[in-house]
Amino acid sequence: MGHQVIIFDFSVIRGLWETRVKKNKERQKKEKERLEKSALEKIKQEWNLILECRKKGIPQSKYLKNGFVDINEKNLDTYGKIPQLKKSRALPDGVNKEQNKFIFRLSGEQWMELPDSLKEQTYLKEWHVYNTLIQTIPAYIALFQDLRVLELSKNQINHLPAEIGCLKNLKVLNVSFNNLKSVPPELGDCENLEKLDLSGNMEITELPFELSNLKQLTFVDVSANKFHSIPICVLRMSNLQWLDISSNNLKDLPEDIDRLDELQTLLLQKNKLTYLPRALVNMPKLSLLVVSGDDLVEIPTAICESTTGLKFVSLKDSPVETIVCEDTEEIIENEREREQVEKEFMKAYIEDLRERESAPSYTTKVMLSLQL
């Protein structure tokens, strides 16, 4: 028998989640302020300055004064002062541990473009760029033929270059929570891509048909955009196991959705669906189906009576959502940030649901224990 899990107080749980997020952010802010006022930050800057000077062969007499590190020494002007040194720490360094030598990391709102030195490091296998003000990815990305992971979440990227199709070895592409409005058809040339995350861009309405070539994809997340239907190319991704197309404008599902016979998780909540097609019953590996039940007027009985152990989760937001947390506006500044918070909540909920050894056939309230 399948398991139906209905949440009548989803918004109440989410309100508690948002309150915890607010308290956690306040603790982090206080801790950051404490560290900035302590001597630890100065010691950290001095130590990084010493390492940088040693790497460049600068004699101690240039940065030591009476035995103390002088971070304001004018003789260091030609080598860059502390702000530049702090930036350089984000670049891969030959003296780092072997496992980090091929990984590029960059974060912080002081970055508005990628450093020029990056184009010389074509041996890199991973980029991890997040929480910056970078808007474009340069065309020279085509030179990074060994790139396996391209994590570019929470930036200001407004388009992807066509040259991204040259990354034949790319396995993971995460461009979530940026400002994308479209995806280049050349992405379909990344034939080894296994994970694609385009969530939270808010404006993507369609995917190019060329993405049908991505037969190795097992994970696709296009939630929090403006899709009116499941893209045709997605229905042709034969190995797809996880599809999150929640928080869009779906009004119906294609009758041939059962061609995704490897699909295990389908997240459809926060759309405009009024019915679910019976074809969902024909998906042998589907184990978790999440919808928002308020607009649904027709659900195939066989979904809830499935013999495959399908968990059917129907989220029901209650009217108290608008008054659950008086401090909500302080926590969530805009719709994009709200989607991020809700996404984290759903991730925690799904993990909690899957960790249970058994689930009742009908549950009216779900209790979550979450620790931030």
| Residue 346 maps to a domain | no
Domain annotation covers residue 88: no
Alpha helix segments (H runs only) across the chain: 10-37, 39-55, 60-63, 82-88, 232-235, 301-304, 328-331, 335-355
Task: Please state, in angstroms and rounded to a whole number, the distance separating the CA atoms of residues 311 and 277.
Answer: 16
Flag whether 74 is in a domain. no
Q: Are 221 and 176 within 8 A, CB to CB? A: yes
Q: What is the pLDDT of residue 356?
A: 67
Residues of the chain with pLDDT under 50: 8, 73, 75, 80-96, 318-326, 328-332, 357-372
Positive or negative torsion for Cα 67, 71, 77, 80: positive
Same domain assignment for residues 183 and 233: yes
In a shared domain, residues 168 and 20 = no
One domain, residues 237 and 107: yes
**What pLDDT sits at residue 66?**
58
Residue 89 in any domain: the answer is: no
Global confidence as pTM: 0.72
Q: What is the CATH number of the domain that holds 138?
A: 3.80.10.10
Tell me: do 245 and 291 sit in the same domain. yes
Domain count, the chain: 2
Do the domain assignments include residue 148? yes
pLDDT in the model for residue 2: 56
**277 with 175, same domain?**
yes
Residue 260 lies in a domain: yes
SS3 235: helix
Query: What residues make up the domain containing 19?
Result: 10-69
- Asked whether residue 289 is assigned to any structural domain, the reply reads yes
> Residues 307-311: contacts with CB within 8 Å, 24+ apart?
307/1, 307/2, 308/2, 308/284, 309/2, 309/3, 310/2, 310/3, 310/286, 311/2, 311/3, 311/4, 311/5, 311/287, 311/353, 311/359
Vertex 207 angle, CA 333 and 127, to 5°: 65
| 64 and 182 co-located in one domain | no
**Is residue 261 domain-shared with residue 122, that is, in the same domain?**
yes
pLDDT value at residue 359 = 46
Separation between Cα atoms, residue 348 and residue 10, nearest integer Å: 13
